[in-house]
Homo-oligomer: A and B are copies of this chain.
Amino acid sequence: MLYMCSTRDDDRTARAVIRDEALRLFAERGPDAVTVRQIATAAGVSPGLVVHHFGSKDGLRTEVDQHVLAVFEAMLGQLTGEGGADLLDPQTGSLSEALAQHLPPDSPLPGYLRRLLLSDTDAGRLLFRRLYELSRAALAQLADAGLAAPGRDPDARAAFLLANDLALFLLRDRLTDVLGTDPLSAEGITRWAPEMLSIYAGGLTASPDDTNTPVPPIPDTPRGDPPTA
């Protein structure tokens, strides 16, 4: 079964290698910008073999989609299993953080999920809807526990929180550029999380140290106050 001419030192099937390399390249440049020949070269096989195993380039893309979604779902199950159901509780961390922390720093998965979420495909829509339902459930649970108000429009509020969480994900490169720190790295989270926590806990007017204490009332004098030291 193994007579591959190239020197691949892992025990993965050629099929799996093609899938993994395609995943990596798709995440990096997008499926449309990657050619079958590039995938074949990266996997150390011939272009014909790619089609032979997956029927077509689109078949390969579909299978990578399924694979990524399966891995993501498995990771989601593991996270809700270990950390309880408060995965999306802003107090304990965000979805993006959890994802970044449970993945090797060079994993192509975040990038692929990013493209999937932004792509105008059924898979992307399904993924977002899944996250949305998760966000809704988390908000409802938080509300039940008295840790958050459901808001006037719980659906919109859940969507708002989810969108904010995903923004960190979608704008990761841009934020790294302006902040000088990858917000999804261990170091970046130490910058990001306190601000997020502070705002979610007490709003924009709360000072960072008020995280666990009641929020002072907003002064009635609208502006012109001396800057708060």
- B-binding residues in A (CB < 8 A): 32-33, 90, 117-118, 120, 124-125, 128-129, 132, 142-149, 151-153, 155-157, 159-160, 163-164, 166-168, 170-171, 173-175, 177-179, 183, 191-192, 194-196, 198-208, 212-219, 221-228
Indicate if the CB atoms of B163 and A227 lie closer than 8 Å: no
Chain B residues, Cβ within 8 Å of A200: 199, 203-204
Of all chain B residues, the one with the shortest Cβ separation from A171 is B163
Chain B residues, Cβ within 8 Å of A146: 218-219, 221, 223-228
Chain B residues, Cβ within 8 Å of A217: 213-215
Of all chain B residues, the one with the shortest Cβ separation from A114 is B118
Chain B residues, Cβ within 8 Å of A33: 32
30 contacts between A and B (CB under 8 A): A117-B171, A117-B174, A118-B170, A142-B204, A146-B218, A146-B221, A146-B225, A146-B226, A146-B228, A147-B218, A147-B222, A148-B205, A149-B206, A152-B208, A153-B195, A156-B192, A157-B195, A160-B192, A160-B199, A163-B167, A163-B175, A164-B164, A164-B167, A166-B167, A170-B171, A201-B218, A202-B202, A203-B203, A212-B218, A214-B216
CB distance from A153 to the nearest CB of B (A): 5
9 shortest A-B CB distances, which residue pairs? A146-B225, A214-B217, A167-B167, A163-B167, A145-B223, A152-B208, A148-B204, A215-B215, A128-B174
A128→B177 CA distance, assembly (Å): 9
Residue in B156, B194, B216, B223 whose CB lies within 8 Å of A147:
B223
A32→B132 CA distance, assembly (Å): 30
Residue in B171, B214, B221 whose CB lies within 8 Å of A215:
B214
A27→B107 CA distance, assembly (Å): 29
| Other A-B pairs, 6, CB within 8 Å; known A148-B205, A152-B208 | A125-B177, A146-B219, A151-B195, A163-B168, A170-B170, A214-B215
Of all chain B residues, the one with the shortest Cβ separation from A91 is B204
Indicate if the CB atoms of A170 and B173 lie closer than 8 Å: no
